Amino acid sequence: MDRKKIKAHIKNSVFICLVYVEVILCTVLGGILCDTSYIDIFRNVATVIVGVMIFIYYYSLSGDKVTEKILPKILFFISFAVSNLLVAYTGRADIGTIWIVAVAILAVKEGIGHAISCHALLMLQYLVLSADAETNIRIIIFYAIIGILIALVLSEIRNNKEFIYASLILVALTMVMIIVLFSFDLKEVINNKDFVIRCLVGDGIILLVSWITYCINPEMAERNAQRGRKRNQKRDKKIILQLLESDNILLKRMKNYSETMYAHSIRVGRLSYKAAYYMGCDCLLAKAGGLYHEAARIYEHGQYLDECKMLITEYNFPTGLSDIIMQYASTEKPKSYEATIVMISDSIISTDEYLERTGKRSQISDEKLIKSIFNKRIKKGNFSESGMNNEQIEKLMDFYINNAFKEDL
């Protein structure tokens, strides 16, 4: 075992020991505050030890990587200690939602999975220590759901602005759960206004601490941003796959509008897919760009740019596809590999179709046609913002020369 592994093992062992000590001490303290008998305190300690074992096991599933990351982040451990102490104090009085603060911090720092495992451990302590737990099953359900909601809402935050929305959502959800807790009896809610205030103040403190946690760790912000980008990519891919289905309603509208435009778009989409695959970029996005580069013509409202915006909005085009459509419509220089490929594919197919209609196609070779298009585009500077270097442009041109007019396209 090398030094790094030994050091990581020691760190994780210390972390585990501290969690056990912290939870046990707070459970004992809660028993003392409640004047619990020694036998009951021992029973409570045995119960929470089982909970800690499950908690630690969950963290260990990640191969010690999670605990290695959490240990240096003192803020988590402090918040966990505070939550344990506050749970212990619930043996004397209900203190609202503030004792869930560790769940909120962990949701912001590590995501929903670790936050909910932490909440499960804190709920176990609450069950064995709270004065209300034995007589009020509704309060148990209330706190269990509130903790999960806090984990859900705060784990989804990707930037500072979203804390405003998170605050509104969390306060609204808390109020809804309070109304449910008191069986939709508004008089009962008013009669328990002290409890309501404690819960709302607790939410405020939780949000403040979570925001501070988010701001003091730039790595955390980047990790949340990456999670957001991955979610967006999955959503965008799902939308594009739907747009590529042969029975998609937009394709049917295009076909009904113009068989010629539809056939042209199919050819451009197929060629763009092949070219993008060859160049190692997003072939699905390129195919969708080729299919729908002229789709806005179905509206016939006059201003083509406005029609493109209508198309993007009505069919919920993802950002990458929207960029291709708008760049094509505004004759902007393409700003991505995929947009560049759609531009070239459309030029090749359009030129081929024009020459076929005029009876001149046989007079020009495939290579001459494609080189002519590339040379014109290079002179106009159309590749200057595409991100392609000269070698990649040559590679793309070779692909078209060898593949643009093959029947299997």
Is the domain of 114 the same as that of 255? Answer: no
Token pair recorded at residue 113: 């999975």
Task: Name every residue whose Cβ is closer than 8 Å to that of residue 33 and which is 6 or more positions away in sequence.
Answer: 88, 89, 91, 92
- pLDDT at residue 64 in the model: 41
- Cα separation, 42 vs 36, in Å, equals 10
**In terms of C-beta density within 10 A (0-12 exposed, 13-18 middle, 19 or more buried), how is residue 21 classed?**
exposed
Is the domain of 53 the same as that of 172? Answer: yes
Is the domain of 63 the same as that of 138? Answer: yes
Is the domain of 14 the same as that of 158? Answer: yes
Is the domain of 195 the same as that of 279? Answer: no
Going from the C-alpha of 185 to that of each of 169, 194, 226, 233, the distances in angstroms are 22, 16, 44, 45
- Cα separation, 75 vs 58, in Å, equals 20
Token pair recorded at residue 57: 């096991």
Is the domain of 141 the same as that of 255? Answer: no
Q: Is residue 223 one of the residues assigned to a domain?
A: no
Tell me how many domains the chain contains. Answer: 2
Q: Is residue 233 one of the residues assigned to a domain?
A: no
Is the domain of 274 the same as that of 169? Answer: no
Angle, vertex CA 129, rays to CA 128 and CA 133, nearest 5: 75
Is the domain of 159 the same as that of 205? Answer: yes
Cβ contact 123:68 at 8 Å: no
Q: Is residue 182 one of the residues assigned to a domain?
A: yes
Distance of CA 90 to the CA centre of its chain: 36
* Domain at 27, CATH number: 1.10.1760
Q: pTM to 2 decimals?
A: 0.50
- pLDDT at residue 65 in the model: 44
Is the domain of 153 the same as that of 272? Answer: no
Q: Is residue 140 one of the residues assigned to a domain?
A: yes
Is the domain of 212 the same as that of 248? Answer: no
Cα R_g (the chain), whole angstroms? 31
- pLDDT at residue 71 in the model: 37
**In terms of C-beta density within 10 A (0-12 exposed, 13-18 middle, 19 or more buried), how is residue 6 classed?**
exposed
- Write out the chain's pLDDT in tens, 409 residues: 456 667 666 766 776 777 777 777 777 776 676 666 777 777 767 766 776 676 666 555 544 444 444 433 555 666 667 776 777 666 667 788 888 888 888 888 777 877 887 788 778 777 777 766 667 788 888 989 999 999 888 887 777 777 888 889 989 999 999 999 888 988 999 998 998 998 999 899 888 888 887 776 555 555 555 666 667 778 888 889 999 998 889 999 999 999 999 999 999 999 999 999 999 999 999 999 999 999 998 987 778 888 888 899 989 899 889 999 988 887 778 889 999 999 999 999 999 999 999 999 889 999 999 999 999 999 988 898 888 999 999 999 999 999 888 755 4
* Domain at 371, CATH number: 1.10.3210
Amino acid at the residue 342: V
SS3 322: helix
**In terms of C-beta density within 10 A (0-12 exposed, 13-18 middle, 19 or more buried), how is residue 179 classed?**
middle
- Cα separation, 26 vs 37, in Å, equals 16
Token pair recorded at residue 151: 């984990």
In which domain, by residue range, is 311 found? 243-403
- pLDDT at residue 63 in the model: 46
Q: Is residue 225 one of the residues assigned to a domain?
A: no
Token pair 């396209």 is found at 409
- Cα separation, 18 vs 13, in Å, equals 9
Is the domain of 207 the same as that of 250? Answer: no
Q: Is residue 222 one of the residues assigned to a domain?
A: no
Distance of CA 61 to the CA centre of its chain: 23
Is the domain of 210 the same as that of 258? Answer: no
Q: Is residue 64 one of the residues assigned to a domain?
A: yes
